[in-house]
Amino acid sequence: MGASLYDRLKEACPEEWGAYTRHKFVRALGTGDLPEACFRHYLVQDYLFLIQFSRAYALSVYKADTIDDMRTAARTLGGILDSEMGLHVRFCAEWGLSREDLESAPEATATIAYTRFVLERGMAGDVLDLHTALAPCVVGYGEIARALLDDPATRHEGNPYRAWIDAYAGEEYQALANAAREQLDAMASRRLSAARLPALISTFSRATRLEAQFWQMGLDQTT
């Protein structure tokens, strides 16, 4: 059996993937040295990010090839709107951020750039283009958190960001990430051709670069 599409996409852009998954923001989460102002700014933008990703999964329902894919996208959409956003609000409250703070904040340039790119790929392309653009976030966060748990440099005791790491390294999110990988492969089995692969690699590469810029946006917030 050949490599999954996700693995092929990662292998095609190792520099971009490394810059994203081993970004200074990520490493500072692991050591616990990330300034709190940076993390709070990231949390606000991540909430706004989830709003746009909800729209992406609504688009995925429309673009889906099969009833099963429609149901999967609808479940994900419902999970974001009915569960994940509520959990995010409660998590942010622990960092002194109210729901009003989140919903009244302007979108940062990095947030706009990434989320609109994903939506544009979904609108202009098909469901495989859309899920290729989503993959660095949906699957990548699971990989990042799992790597942080295994990293000897990670501080486990007294790390203010341990709850964030545990959430993405936990069984529930890991199952979601694995399902996203499997769905990408299922879509590829119906739509992927040798002629399409370069364009998908380009989409994945750009989405990965935009993810790194999202980390940098958080890191640049020092006040």
User: Any idea which residues carry the catalytic annotation?
Assistant: 137, 211
Token pair belonging to 139: 């699957």
How far apart CA 21 and CA 144 sit, in angstroms, is 6
Beta-carbon contacts of 49 under 8 Å, excluding residues fewer than 6 positions away, are 111, 114, 115, 214
40-52: string of b/e by CB count within 10 Å (b at 16+)?
bbbbbbbbbbbbb
Structural Rg of the chain based on CA atoms: 17
